[in-house]
Structure 1
Amino acid sequence: MNEKARGQGLLSVEQALEALLTRAERIVDREEVALDEALGRVLAHGLASPQNVPPHDNSAMDGYAVRCADLAGGALRVGQRIPAGSQGVPLEPGTCARIFTGAPIPPGADAVVMQEHCRVAGDQVTVEQPASPGQHVRRAGEDITAGAEILAAGTRLRPQELGLAASVGLARLPVVRRPRVALFSTGDELVAPGEALGPGQIYNSNRYTLAGLLRNLGCEVLDLGAVEDTLEATREVLRRAAGACDLILTSGGVSVGEEDHVKAAVESLGALELWRIAVKPGKPLAFGSVDGTPFMGLPGNPVSSFATFCLFTRPFLLRRLGVQAVMPRVIPAESGFDWTRPGDRREYLRARLEPDAAGRTVVTLYPNQGSGVLTSTSWAEGFVIAPEGQVIRRGDPVSYIPFAELLS
């Protein structure tokens, strides 16, 4: 953080994240869910395999199972046929077994020869290339050994983790209960889509952006809509939300204006910290509690709300679920733009990767980076980071965060 930001009493992004994550108490409630319902959930404890994978030595190829010592004697008689899902009998001397991918290796065989390397005449097979013990044989337990941990506590379950659990026969998984998040917006100017706009009114986009972001994280959303700009109405919705959720999330209204009642309402029911963060968009962020329930207030500008959710709310919720690696992957990229007026706050610019005239993949910016330009978040495919006080020239190395890292 530069001297100007420090002089203004601004927290760095890292300081704000550290403060949030130290306050992120882990949700302790657990439940068991069927494997086909576990996508996106977080494991409550580690999983150990009850068996070897594969459970037996098996063929990696369609071909012939042989005893290598028999190959010096010329052609081998095909004594049995072993498709996947069946079990062969011990290999007799001078014979081989027709075998298919995944089928168990019969006792006595020590290699598999690809069918392309064999000449077949009736029930006689001549192996035309040298073979060695272990060739094209998948050994029992070569992927997973019985008793080994296959997934650690705090793992967010992707399709590949579900497949891994299925591969060892686990039909149900222990997961952390879904976080319940109460969501509301403040402002008499907000109107629900489908209704007619009155003088000075706007449609409530934050409600749908934030609800979608929460559901992408696997949260249960208690959508309380828009709350009228009165202290009593704000207190009432906060009281109702606190008894029903793990986090209260709002957009707008956390300021000191005459019509901004969230600050006073939260302070009357609990405690509130107002943080000014050296980040753009989204400098103001509120964190506190209402009757013991964590509260987070995001800015009202739509891009600021989107960005601060991605940067601060998302890691807070993931840490509450027990996930340790909560920060998004940042990838190196090349700037395809000039950024010549750096500010005293770290800027998260809406951007995407595109080929330039020379065919190189570079980061391109949306032309209007205003915090009210929601179009930029739809056009963009990620954030490029413009560090505090740093000029960026076309061709410079930059750090890029794909939205794919932030929206799940």
Structure 2
Amino acid sequence: MVDWSGGNDRGATPKKDAIWVCAARGGEADEPVYLRNRQVAEAWITAFLENERQAGHRVLAGFDFAFGYPTGLGKALTGSDDPLAVWDWFAERVEDAPNTNNRFDLAGQINGMFPGVGPFWGNGLKRDIADLPRKGLARNGHNQPEKREAEKRTKGAFPVWQLAGAGAVGSQVIMGLPMLCRLRTRFGAAAWPFEPLTTDIALVEIWPSLIAKAVAASRPADAIKDAHQVHLLAQILSGLPDKQLQTLLDVPTNPEGWILGLGHEAMLEDAALRAIAPPPLRNDCFAMPRGAHWTPVDTALDHLRGALHPVTAVTQISVPQAAGRILAEPVVADRSHPPAPNAAVDGYGFAGPLPDGAHVLPLVDGRAAAGQPYQGTVPSGHAIRILTGALLPEGVDTVVLQEDVKVADNRIALHGPLKQGANARAAGEDMTAGQVIATAGRCLTPADIATLTAAGVGKVAVREPLRVGILSTGDELAEAGQTAAPGQIYDANRPMLNAVVNRWGHQTIDLGRAPDDRVALRNILDDAASRCDAIITSGGASAGDEDHVSALLQDTGTFALWRIAIKPGRPLALGQWRGKPVFGLPGNPVAAMVCALVFARPALSVLAGGAWQEPQAYPMPAGFTKSKKVGRREYLRARIEDGQVMIFPSEGSGRVSGLSWATGLVCLDDGARKIVPGDPVQFVPFGSFGL
């Protein structure tokens, strides 16, 4: 797919309103390529088509300008309505160079063939051109249709007569048709829809605005629109099934040309939305093996780890904006760091080593400083003043600290020994160009931003933030700050879980409280599925009469009620609602917190595109006595006091204040155990759970 331009050379740095090209195969698109002018672009396209033809491939090459004019221009120029004769006519007359062309003069000449004024308009030059008005309203009596039939059916399309101004496409057509003519001649390519597509290369007209909604929805804030839209259009067209692509191409032959996909915008938008969305979860991703009754914690975690995958889309953003974002692709160093040998200290440079004893070295004129390299060569036996970060001049491989040197009479005196390479940094000793410096799934830290920037990386592919809906259920809940009726309690879970998930770096969506009413809960879940990537509920997750979360998930065919051998914690209700994973946590705040830390944290990390999160436990001496039965893993609220682990006095899971008292959890494995003060226990600080 090619986004064309009728303007002058745009320079070496990628810019908008320039020429962008993107190739895709089977729904997988390459990175868009910036081409600074039409000469460079035609050479690139020609080489690409030649390589593909030699490889035995077929190519659909799309260009975003009109392939024809409204009926009438062809007969005036060539004596026939053959649009390909118009291509030949322009190819013979257009004069083009990187910074100058004759498109405005040529348009004026064409206008002179018609009565009145027009049809071309939009003189973009400072000098006046005969028969070419600057304003469209100045035209009259030329008797040519204003738009092709294709433009009449596309909202926002500009007429091919406008050569300058916002949205003008006329210059692109004049400067593009000669290139198409040469490609058609060189490769025997078929021009659609003027010719049958019986050759291995098809030239087709495209208009990326047909998928404008998908482009807007998926375009990163700092991405160039032209680059992004050819990337997305190439991706979706190359991934279309043959039958759908044939539907787009199956249009009547006409001398004005046609836009590929016109009349099938819904199909293209749907394909675009599928292309930018990650694959859905399997319907059975939460199903435990048959016969499982009380599931050990490790078994449950292993199952989650193997069944889940990222559900977030990928976008490109600049490195300074990427802190806290999860990498979607590995990052390689753009150049070595340091890029060349340089001084690690302020001092004097020379060729080492120096043996033991006193040494006197004459100084050369000048110095080397960071950003101001010395241009000459330092002779053997001489030294040069050099500052930290300065490139080592030719003839220098060793630096002595200025504090170890005496300077007098344009000489330095120092004592050896000093080994060769002392106080000097080698090129690439930190990172080398092409080296992987950050892996996919890593959540970028401020230190990573420094590393990537030092290696010359400007943009990275990251996952969009995971949108997690938080919902509390139950008629017994009231909002803090409001009057609670008899029998009600204040909803501690929702604000707690919102805060926890925010700390993990995800985007939370507060879904409020759902009553014990399945119709109301269904409506809330329907709304949540349209706005969230994952949903966490608390309460209603068991198998009782009022456990409505479990009951609704049961009807989806994706439901799994996990009886986890864990304390605190009741069964976890897991399933999908309209394709979005739902984690049904216990209603008790302590159990909800523990299950969120143990199960939801690593699961959400994977769904967000990150790595599976394993909390780090530390062996510490117990400061308590505890007798534990076999069969369940227990998590005790705990904190460190005087070098020992102390646990909250009550193990009751209704004592929510114990979460505030604690700084972590003691994890006791599934087996039976008797603990006395001094015995080692595994302490997991809340920081190891990402809090």
- Structure-1 separation of matches of 2:425 and 2:411: 25
- Structure-2 separation of matches of 1:100 and 1:182: 55
* Stretch of structure 1 that moved more, 27-36 or 279-288: 27-36
* Helix, strand or coil at the partner of 2:542: coil
- Structure-2 separation of matches of 1:373 and 1:171: 50
Of the candidates 306, 316, 333, which is equivalent to residue 49 of structure 1? 333
Deviation of the 1:78 alpha carbon = 5.2
Match of 1:383 in 2: 665
Match of 1:39 in 2: 323
User: What amino acid sits opposite 1:383 in the alignment?
Assistant: L
Aligned partners of 1:270 and 1:291 also within 8 Å? no
Instruction: Confirm whether residue 115 of structure 1 aligns to residue 402 of structure 2.
Output: yes
* Helix, strand or coil at the partner of 1:74: strand
Of the candidates 613, 621, 624, which is equivalent to residue 337 of structure 1? 624
Alignment of 1:117-156 (within 5 A): 117-156=404-443
Unaligned stretches of 5+ in structure 2? 1-290
Q: CA RMSD in A?
A: 2.1
Deviation of the 1:122 alpha carbon = 4.7
Aligned partners of 2:542 and 2:570 also within 8 Å? no
User: What amino acid sits opposite 1:369 in the alignment?
Assistant: E
- Structure-2 separation of matches of 1:69 and 1:43: 45
Alignment of 1:360-379 (within 5 A): 361-379=643-661
Match of 1:308 in 2: 595
* Helix, strand or coil at the partner of 1:277: coil
Deviation of the 1:235 alpha carbon = 1.3
- Structure-1 separation of matches of 2:543 and 2:363: 90
Aligned partners of 2:542 and 2:572 also within 8 Å? no
* Helix, strand or coil at the partner of 1:164: helix
Instruction: Confirm whether residue 394 of structure 1 aligns to residue 677 of structure 2.
Output: yes
* Helix, strand or coil at the partner of 1:271: coil
- Inter-CA distance 343–378: structure 2 relative to 1 (3 Å threshold): farther
Aligned partners of 1:27 and 1:176 also within 8 Å? no
Aligned partners of 1:235 and 1:266 also within 8 Å? no
User: What amino acid sits opposite 1:84 in the alignment?
Assistant: A
Instruction: Confirm whether residue 77 of structure 1 aligns to residue 363 of structure 2.
Output: yes
Match of 1:358 in 2: none
Instruction: Confirm whether residue 218 of structure 1 aligns to residue 501 of structure 2.
Output: no
Instruction: Confirm whether residue 267 of structure 1 aligns to residue 554 of structure 2.
Output: yes
Deviation of the 1:44 alpha carbon = 0.3
Alignment of 1:126-275 (within 5 A): 126-275=413-562
Q: CA-to-partner distance for each residue in 1:307-339, whole Å, 9 max, x for gaps?
A: 100100111111223434421122222222221
Unaligned stretches of 5+ in structure 1? 1-6, 356-360
Instruction: Confirm whether residue 277 of structure 1 aligns to residue 559 of structure 2.
Output: no
Structure number with the higher helix fraction is 2
Aligned partners of 1:183 and 1:225 also within 8 Å? yes
Instruction: Confirm whether residue 22 of structure 1 aligns to residue 300 of structure 2.
Output: no
User: What amino acid sits opposite 1:130 in the alignment?
Assistant: P
Q: CA-to-partner distance for each residue in 1:27-74, whole Å, 9 max, x for gaps?
A: 251012232332222110101111110011111112111123788862
Q: Which structure would you say has the larger RCO, counting Cα contacts within 8 Å and 6 or more residues apart?
A: 1
Runs of 4+ in structure 1 off by over 4 angstroms are 69-73
- Structure-1 separation of matches of 2:619 and 2:609: 28
Aligned partners of 2:622 and 2:681 also within 8 Å? yes
- Structure-2 separation of matches of 1:239 and 1:22: 27
TM-score, normalised on structure 1? 0.91
Q: CA-to-partner distance for each residue in 1:281-330, whole Å, 9 max, x for gaps?
A: 11321111122221110001101111100100111111223434421122
* Helix, strand or coil at the partner of 1:19: helix
User: What amino acid sits opposite 1:403 in the alignment?
Assistant: F
User: What amino acid sits opposite 2:583 in the alignment?
Assistant: M
Deviation of the 1:193 alpha carbon = 1.9
Aligned partners of 1:229 and 1:261 also within 8 Å? yes
Deviation of the 1:94 alpha carbon = 4.5
* Helix, strand or coil at the partner of 1:68: coil
- Structure-1 separation of matches of 2:310 and 2:612: 14
- Structure-2 separation of matches of 1:140 and 1:8: 58
- Structure-1 separation of matches of 2:293 and 2:352: 76
Aligned partners of 1:70 and 1:93 also within 8 Å? no
Aligned partners of 2:361 and 2:383 also within 8 Å? no
Deviation of the 1:221 alpha carbon = 1.7
Instruction: Confirm whether residue 348 of structure 1 aligns to residue 630 of structure 2.
Output: no
- Structure-2 separation of matches of 1:364 and 1:128: 59
- Larger gyration radius, structure 1 or structure 2: 2
Instruction: Confirm whether residue 299 of structure 1 aligns to residue 583 of structure 2.
Output: no
Deviation of the 1:160 alpha carbon = 1.8
- Inter-CA distance 85–368: structure 2 relative to 1 (3 Å threshold): farther
TM-score, normalised on structure 2? 0.55
* Helix, strand or coil at the partner of 2:690: coil
Instruction: Confirm whether residue 12 of structure 1 aligns to residue 296 of structure 2.
Output: yes
Match of 1:317 in 2: 604
Match of 2:13 in 1: none
* Helix, strand or coil at the partner of 1:128: strand
Deviation of the 1:93 alpha carbon = 4.5
Aligned partners of 2:312 and 2:465 also within 8 Å? no
